[in-house]
Structure 1
Amino acid sequence: MTATDTMRAIVQHGYGGTEVLSFADVAVPSPGPKQVLVNVHAVSPDSGTVHLMTGRPSLVRPFMGWRTPRQPVIGLAFAGVVTAVGSAVESVRVGDRVAGSAPAAFADFVVADPAKIAVVPAAVSMVDAATVPISAGTALQAVRDVARIQAGQRVLVIGAGGGVGSFLTQLAILEGASVTGVASAAKAAFVTSLGAERVIDYRESSEPAEWGEFDVIIDTADGRPLHVLRRALAERGALVIVGADGAGGPVLDGVDRQLRAALLSPWVKHRLVGVVQRERGSDVAVLLDHLAAGRLSAAVGEVVPFDAARESIHRLQQRSIPGKAVIELRAEESQR
């Protein structure tokens, strides 16, 4: 299946900043009967990568490992070429270009569940495809399944310059909504390029009540209390909380806002709900089709080689990258 028994990987040996990450040679995994082996060409870190690196919120540690992760190889979102398939797999074949999510993806090879991957159209590069499985998948589920955005609605995307936010902005516009983005001044032009009608610099205008009135607010990065964000909602508006960024302390670290939203929603006029991302190959397929048709942009802020991965993840942690960061393990010659 492979020319060698070992492969390059990014491994994590504790919790903290990027100093806990290192490069190592590890064993190439073998797929089971219901799995596939993928030769990884590109991967894309996201806020979940940072959360797992730092070990926050700490409520995840019983599942990951208290002092060091049980699975040392990091990452989820990848794009690559299938090199082996299990005996029970019929949906993909050796040689297929695929994108999806799987544990331990930031390595030369990854074992994946066919239900969590999709075939990449010829018109879509591996770099662009790698951005889709987690960040765009989360955005699609937030827009379509949770917020249920409709044409004509006024939508506010907080964190519109980030990985998930860049897809939220575009997908809401595809549904016919008018979108206002909240981002730093450094990312204002980027957010405008995604189609946002207005961009609010959160440092210049810090009071949501001054931002206008919106039918839907999707918050990916703010951390403000729910009652403060509700000041910008219309009478029957919806507030959607994405991710665990916030000021909930080391144990909950933002998850508390999702819990509070679920508890408060039945008692107030607004609909308050959190998004729990589900890894589904069917969603990846929808998004890849949007990319192939030109309806959606991968909004890649930077592409770095494998040996520069730690620096890129650090910039992601600092939120200095507009849109998505991609780490390229194998260049696609046909697209150079």
Structure 2
Amino acid sequence: MGPRNAADFAAYAALRVFVATIQALPLGLCDRGAAGLAWLFDRVIRLRRRVVRENLKIAFPAASEAQIDRMTRQVWRHLFLMVAEIAHAPRKVHRSNWKSVTQIGDERAIVDLMLLPRPKVIISGHYGNFELGGYLLGLFGFPTHTVARRLDNRYVDRWINRFRGRTGQHILPKDGSSGDIDRLMASGGVVALLGDQHAGPRGCWVNFFGKPASTHKAVALFSLGYQAPTLVMTSRRRGAPLRYTVELAGVADPQADGFELGDAASFTEWFTERLEAMIRRAPEQYWWVHRRWKGEPPPRAAARLAKRAQAGASHG
């Protein structure tokens, strides 16, 4: 075993010990611990404090300093509690009891769409417990496939993917899986994608909380290219740990009469607006620790966004 391999295995072993420790603790204690760690990371360690606060001020410009302080701590509490929930989920949430811990909004619409004999796309974001969202869909009887980059640590990558795959959330590598995706979609499968990742200067620029953000065009192209019904879905915690509501934020079907989202920009704008509406319901459950807004849009994209904003103001 080489030095790099040994270091990776040591990190993996440490992670397993950490998760086993969390699993041995009652969820109520994990909740209280998450609150304590939130205070520690915000007030003492101050990890990414400036990033979180800047993001919150962009999204909620009318919020007071006290409100920003409170939301910052709530963001950290959510993140730590999210880790504890993922650790506990395999033992506490399974096919025989998921109805006691999960609510499904628009259940009939979700079931009808997921049972269509056509390819489907689910768009989510870094909101609520997005890792648990795919796990829950598998428990509902709807396996999904997610395109993701392999982790550098192969031990951790294999272990995390076992968690994801135990209920039917399968991972396709970001590179070299185009053939698998074509076969999956041809068979009426489901691809789940995150719709709020920064895509650099050449991405599709849309307004997110009123500020331009670059978004991957591939998310829209999946739906448009495969003519796939697309569901914007989130998993929002409702109070206690491991109590979630799976919500349907919007549906778009390229084959529906009157479909008006036939280009990547319009489609990306549509699902970004739906995600924003969900985030506003529980802003502390969003991943504000990452930089969603980076750089400025190129002139052409900036002009398009300005025109859209002006049209929206006139309409209002």
Q: Given the two structures, how large is their TM-score scaled by the length of structure 1?
A: 0.35
Identify, as 1 or 2, the structure richer in strand.
1
Identify, as 1 or 2, the structure richer in helix.
2
- Report 1 or 2 for greater relative contact order, CA contacts < 8 Å, sequence distance ≥ 6: 2
